[in-house]
Amino acid sequence: MTLIEANPVASLRDKATKVSAVEASDIALNGISKVFTTRRGDIHALDDVTLSIRRKEFVCLLGPSGCGKSTILALIAGLAKPSEGSVTVDGRSVDVARRNRRIGLVFQDAVLLPWRTASENVSLPLEVLKIPRQERNDRIKAALALVGLIGFERRFPHELSGGMRQRLGIARALSFDPHVLLMDEPFGALDAITRDNMSVELLRIWEHRQKTVLFVTHSISEAVYLSDRVVVMTPRPGRIAGVVKNLLPRPRPLHIRDSSEFISLSRQLRDLLGAE
């Protein structure tokens, strides 16, 4: 595995947010391998993946289709079990993390219940967790306010635009205040303009809430714009080809993508993907 510190301009190092080496990891994958057994034989999805993600860090998983990015999220979320290795969240098992409401999950499709209003969709995990009604109402209002959906509480999913539905999915994932937010290509189905706007919105939300985020994407520019680090995956079986540290300063306006530093970092990632 290659570790690259992306440093197109030396002065960026002074501007970047420093994370203490002693700060605890929120997510740790140790020697993870995953094999799926099918009628046509075994599929070796992941091979010996080791990765540590620090508290409040925004990490992007970048790689080709079928390289195991979504499988990694499923293992962290407890939706699948590793064939080898271990996964911990905040130093505890995934099962404990789930019971303690530590993990929120956002999919490419917002997976909203069409017969429920916006408020009722946000309410769903709170109902499952048996949060008292008054506290539930307060959390719903706060989550909708965070994603800019006040005034749309009684709208049904079909009455919302694609970007609004994704914001609603994020509000639902944040409603119970998870420590870790797992995002599986949440903007992949959106048009380019909406996708840009959602990236800006996501960084605003992240800077406000400071969650630990693991974000799956196929887009190099999206990974560079959002991340503190980019983890580049190989084709299946998925391994970590390299981890690229992103020292672009925050906050990041959209026009930072026109900068020579952004372009240089994008080229490094493209080269790393090409080498695999």
pLDDT in tens, 236-271: 999 999 999 999 999 999 999 999 999 999 999 999
Residue 37 lies in a domain: no
- φ, ψ dihedrals at 153, nearest 5°: -55, -35
Angle at 112 between CA 69 and CA 192, to 5 degrees: 60
SS3 of 75, please? helix
**pLDDT at residue number 108:** 85
* Domain carrying residue 196: 2-18+55-63+93-102+178-275
Task: Tell me which residue of 193, 98, 186 sits closest to 147, measured CA to CA.
Answer: 186
pLDDT in tens, 69-83: 999 999 999 999 999
Residue 242 lies in a domain: yes
More confident residue, 220 or 26: 220
**pLDDT at residue number 33:** 96
Instruction: Tell me the CB-side half-sphere exposure of residue 247, using CA atoms within 13 A.
Output: 16
Mean pLDDT of the chain: 89
Distances (CA, A) of 135 to 49, 99, 102, 175: 40, 19, 18, 11
Q: What is the mean pLDDT of residues 145-163?
A: 95
Q: What is the mean pLDDT of residues 173-181?
A: 93
How many other β-carbons are positioned within 10 Å of the β-carbon of residue 161? Answer: 10
Residue 216 lies in a domain: yes
Residue 202 lies in a domain: yes
Q: How far apart are CA 119 and CA 123, in angstroms?
A: 6
**pLDDT at residue number 20:** 36
Task: Tell me which residue of 215, 238, 224, 235 sits closest to 268, measured CA to CA.
Answer: 224
**pLDDT at residue number 117:** 97
Residue 139 lies in a domain: no
Q: What is the mean pLDDT of residues 48-52?
A: 96
pLDDT in tens, 187-214: 988 899 999 999 999 999 999 988 999 9
Task: Tell me which residue of 214, 175, 171, 200 sits closest to 55, measured CA to CA.
Answer: 214
Residue 147 lies in a domain: no
Residue 4 confidence (pLDDT) above 60: no
More confident residue, 64 or 13: 64
DSSP secondary structure string, 157-168?
GGGS-HHHHHHH
Residue 11 confidence (pLDDT) above 80: no
Residue 240 lies in a domain: yes
Residue 32 lies in a domain: no
pLDDT in tens, 88-105: 998 889 999 988 888 999
- Quote the number of domains for the chain: 1
SS3 of 172, please? helix
- The CATH number that applies at residue 256 is 3.40.50
Q: pTM of this prediction?
A: 0.87
